[in-house]
Amino acid sequence: MEVLTELNGTRGITIAMVTHDQGMAAYAHRIVEFLDGAVLSDRATVPVGA
């Protein structure tokens, strides 16, 4: 996760991650939740370490 965070922070590279792990999702600037292909929520977040 450290490498992905560094690439995003220093080079502005966008990372798209799909996970069920809330701990990994905590690193995201944005979380979109789906159920059966429909968007349940789409929210901005403050990532871990920000």
Asked if 28 contacts 41 with a C-beta cutoff of 8 angstroms, the reply is no
Determine the Cα–Cα distance for residues 47 and 9; give it in Å rounded to an integer.
Answer: 12
What is the residue range of 13's domain? 2-44
The domain tally of the chain equals 1
Q: What is the model's pLDDT at position 7?
A: 92
- The verdict on residue 19 lying in a domain is yes
Once rounded to an integer, what is the mean pLDDT over residues 2-27? 93
- The verdict on residue 50 lying in a domain is no
Q: What is the model's pLDDT at position 46?
A: 93
- The verdict on residue 35 lying in a domain is yes
Determine the Cα–Cα distance for residues 10 and 35; give it in Å rounded to an integer.
Answer: 33
The two three-digit tokens of residue 4, written as one number: 């992905």
- The verdict on residue 49 lying in a domain is no
Global pTM value: 0.77
Distances (CA, A) of 45 to 31, 36: 7, 23
